[in-house]
Amino acid sequence: MFPRPAAGALLLLLAVAAASLPAAAAPSAAQRFVIVPAESSVIYRVNEVLFNEGNRLNTAVGTTNAVRGEIVVDRANARASRIGTITVDISTFRTDSPRRDNAIRNRWLESARFPNAEFTPATITGLPAAYTDGQELRLQVTGNLKVRNVVRPNTVFQVTLKVAGNTLTATATTEVLMTDFGFDPPSILGILRADNEIRIEFRLTARPPAP
């Protein structure tokens, strides 16, 4: 039978064994969120004059949920948070008029040829030093907006964002001109004329990807 080590020697052996074990990695505060299309939408609004209805003013509203992208939120160092490229299949926009949708898809926006619009963020203004769960942030996100393979730099979205547990929600709005992307506003003699300005709104819900 081997002699039992003294208490001091036993503590020394335990300390040496613990020191030889690999250190546990510190938990990261960064969390990745993926947009959930079924719970998100992208909306455009364009004012138009309907000549065949007594010059009635109307706002055409198009909606799609064909949006994808990722956002990384770092709670401990919020200014390290990042938004990846947001992609929208603009060929899937629907309004209350299939005739309007087909004309936009094939004649003006040509989204049948160029279905994907992309916003690639470059800078985020308004992030705090650290993020508290449930806090609502008001941000400016600036980046490149690509439509019909034409890139408009320095496009600014006004963003409201909040993370509560494993759910991120955000709205983002901006205004652009159709002519900035190489096409004229829809105009049909005797029927309608649309404004050049488009108001764009993102309503996003995102969650961590499934393991």
Q: What is the pLDDT of residues 156-202, one digit of tens each?
A: 999 999 999 999 999 999 999 999 999 999 888 888 899 999 999 99
What CATH number belongs to 29-207?
2.40.128.110
Return the number of other C-beta atoms located less than 10 Å from residue 187's C-beta: 13
Q: Nearest Cα to 174, choosing from 160, 159, 195, 186?
A: 159
Per residue in 9-44, pLDDT tens?
A: 433 333 344 344 433 333 457 999 999 999 999 999
| pLDDT score for 4 | 52
Per residue in 78-114, pLDDT tens?
A: 999 999 999 999 999 999 999 889 999 998 999 999 9
Rounded CA-CA distance 116/176 in Å is: 17
**Cβ atoms of residues 73 and 40 within 8 Å:** no
User: Domain segments of the chain: what residues?
Assistant: 29-207
